[in-house]
Amino acid sequence: MNILNIIRISFKAIQRNKLRSFLTMLGIIIGVAAVITMMSIGEASKQNIRSSLSSMGSNMISIMPYNNMAMPGGVRLSSSNVDILTMSDVNQIEKNVDLVNHISPGVQSSGQAIKGANNWPTTIQGVSPDYLTIRALTIKDGVNFSDQQVREFAKVCLVGKTVVDNLFPNGEDPIGQTIRFGNIPMQIIGVLTPKGQNTFGQDQDDIIIAPYTTVMKRILATTYLQSIYASAVSEEMSDSAVTQITTLLRQAHKIRAGQDDDFMVRTQAELINMMSSTSSMMTTLLTAVAGISLVIGGIGIMNIMYVSVTERTREIGLRMSIGAKGSDILFQFLIEAMLISVAGGLIGVILGLVSSYIVSSVLHWELVISQMSIIISFFVCAFTGVFFGYYPALKASRLDPIEALRYE
């Protein structure tokens, strides 16, 4: 048997029924295109979350107080009001945890920022100069405050774009100007590079950054920290750094074995995973739906091949009478089914790429096409062709030529 001739025969048979072949392909085309688009959307949204969280500093580790030991009947306080973390924790981590290369205490307060006739409700973040590195923030104009200024409780600050826009609506240069936060006058020494909204829709530019000493002494009048920010030497080292910090802080806080921590340590990676898990669930769901449409496309092929075998019974009888063996007929119909599904698969891949491109450009997402999705859906197609084409083809190959020739 000459397989090339059989392919030629199958190809001609498809050509004879262009419209029907195309309609049969349509199920496969839509299925494959849907799978690729869904996977691309899912990947892109994951990537999107990842990159926006990374923009907040991908190595960042945040330590928050966590008071789980509520007194019966007592008022539970929000974690930022719990007096647990101190500067000595910061110093110990800085000294003993070698997987951490930057560290900053964190205190914050909300209040009104005022400049002349303009005012704006915002948040002041008291940190050390390292904070900018940890959060991957950069300064557009001006300079960061220095360690010296931290020691002096200097009344200096860095402001975000939103604050600048609201306090200086006429576009004056904010550098060197003095604004008030509540009652405290502060000189602006730098403006942060705008970052826009983060994944949760928070405006990352609505912020004032000042030395933590200034915020602690002059605004909050406290000696406790609300948080500690650190950055691990690398993203991979984050988890080890967390373990080191936890061990250290448990010792420092004299927590006995079996007792719960009075703080919690979170890495950005955890946050990323948490956020991505929602989106991967969606991706799985959508891909499953798309996969079902691919199966339905396959059943469409089977259906058409069945009709085709019945309709072409005389043709099969003729082919057998002029010398086609059962296997020739089997392969002819099998190859027809495969050609239809593979051609459908190819068109589907192209369509899927195009629609992924459209979706990504409409949503301003990065275009992420996983090669796996293309390879998988393509092979699923070929397999679909063989799987759903086999039974009708077998039926055709087992026809009795005498009966088939007489079939009306």
Partner 1 sequence: MDDTILEIKELRRDFIMGDQVVHALKGVSFTVSKGEFITIMGSSGSGKSTMLNILGCLDKPTNGDYLLDKVAVKTLSRNQLAELRNRKIGFVFQAYNLLPRTTALENVELPLLYNPTYNASQRRERAMHALEQVRLAERYDHTPNQLSGGQQQRVAIARALVNDPVMILADEATGNLDTRTSYEIMTLVQDLNQKEGKTIVFVTHEPDIASFSSRTVMLRDGRVQKDSVNENVRSAKESLDALPVTDDY
Let me know if 251 is exposed, middle or buried by CB neighbors in 10 A (0-12, 13-18, 19+). exposed
Q: Are 125 and 207 in contact (CB under 8 A)?
A: yes
Residue 392 identity (one-letter amino acid) = P
Among 11, 16, 169, 296, binds partner 1 (CB under 8 A): 16
In whole angstroms, the minimum distance from the beta carbon of 12 to partner 1 comes to 7
Within 8 A by CB and 6+ apart from 315, the residues are none
Q: Which stretch binds partner 1 (CB under 8 A): 57-65, 265-273, 278-286, 398-406?
A: 398-406
Quote the CA–CA distance of 326 and 317 in Å, as a whole number: 11
Quote the CA–CA distance of 126 and 149 in Å, as a whole number: 12
Asked whether position 14 contacts partner 1 by CB under 8 A, the answer is no
Among 111, 194, 291, 326, binds partner 1 (CB under 8 A): 326
Asked whether position 402 contacts partner 1 by CB under 8 A, the answer is yes
Q: Are 341 and 384 in contact (CB under 8 A)?
A: yes
Q: Which stretch binds partner 1 (CB under 8 A): 78-86, 220-228, 325-333, 387-395?
A: 325-333
Among 71, 117, 322, 362, binds partner 1 (CB under 8 A): 322
Asked whether position 22 contacts partner 1 by CB under 8 A, the answer is no
Let me know if 271 is exposed, middle or buried by CB neighbors in 10 A (0-12, 13-18, 19+). middle
Asked whether position 19 contacts partner 1 by CB under 8 A, the answer is no
Binding mask 183-202 for partner 1 (x = CB under 8 A): --------------------
End-to-end CA distance of the chain: 29
Within 8 A by CB and 6+ apart from 153, the residues are 211, 213, 214, 217, 218
Closest CA to 220 of 76, 129, 107: 107
Q: Are 319 and 329 in contact (CB under 8 A)?
A: yes
Q: Which stretch binds partner 1 (CB under 8 A): 9-17, 216-224, 235-243, 372-380?
A: 9-17
In whole angstroms, the minimum distance from the beta carbon of 402 to partner 1 comes to 5
In whole angstroms, the minimum distance from the beta carbon of 352 to partner 1 comes to 32
Among 202, 278, 321, 370, binds partner 1 (CB under 8 A): 321
Asked whether position 336 contacts partner 1 by CB under 8 A, the answer is no
In whole angstroms, the minimum distance from the beta carbon of 302 to partner 1 comes to 24
Structure tokens at 309: 């075998």
Q: Which stretch binds partner 1 (CB under 8 A): 55-63, 73-81, 261-269, 399-407?
A: 399-407
Among 5, 183, 193, 234, binds partner 1 (CB under 8 A): 5
In whole angstroms, the minimum distance from the beta carbon of 348 to partner 1 comes to 27
Asked whether position 325 contacts partner 1 by CB under 8 A, the answer is yes
Closest CA to 124 of 97, 158, 94, 90: 158
Quote the CA–CA distance of 157 and 208 in Å, as a whole number: 7
**C-alpha to C-alpha distances, 378 to 335, 342, 368, nearest whole angstrom:** 16, 7, 18
Structure tokens at 136: 């991957």
In whole angstroms, the minimum distance from the beta carbon of 403 to partner 1 comes to 10
Q: Which stretch binds partner 1 (CB under 8 A): 112-120, 201-209, 383-391, 400-408?
A: 400-408
Q: CB 310: neighbour CB atoms within 10 A?
A: 13
Asked whether position 2 contacts partner 1 by CB under 8 A, the answer is yes
Asked whether position 167 contacts partner 1 by CB under 8 A, the answer is no
Among 89, 130, 206, 328, binds partner 1 (CB under 8 A): 328
In whole angstroms, the minimum distance from the beta carbon of 291 to partner 1 comes to 36
Query: If binding means CB under 8 A, how many residues of this protein chain bind partner 1?
Result: 24
65-73, Cβ contacts within 8 angstroms, sequence gap of 24 or more: 65/226, 65/227, 65/262, 65/263, 66/261, 66/262, 66/263, 66/264, 67/262, 68/260, 68/262, 69/260, 69/262
Asked whether position 209 contacts partner 1 by CB under 8 A, the answer is no
Asked whether position 315 contacts partner 1 by CB under 8 A, the answer is yes
Q: Please identify, using beta-carbon distances, which residue of 125 and 332 lies nearer to partner 1.
A: 332
Among 138, 234, 327, 370, binds partner 1 (CB under 8 A): 327
Residues in contact with partner 1 by CB under 8 A are 1-2, 5, 8-9, 12, 16, 314-315, 317-328, 401-402, 405
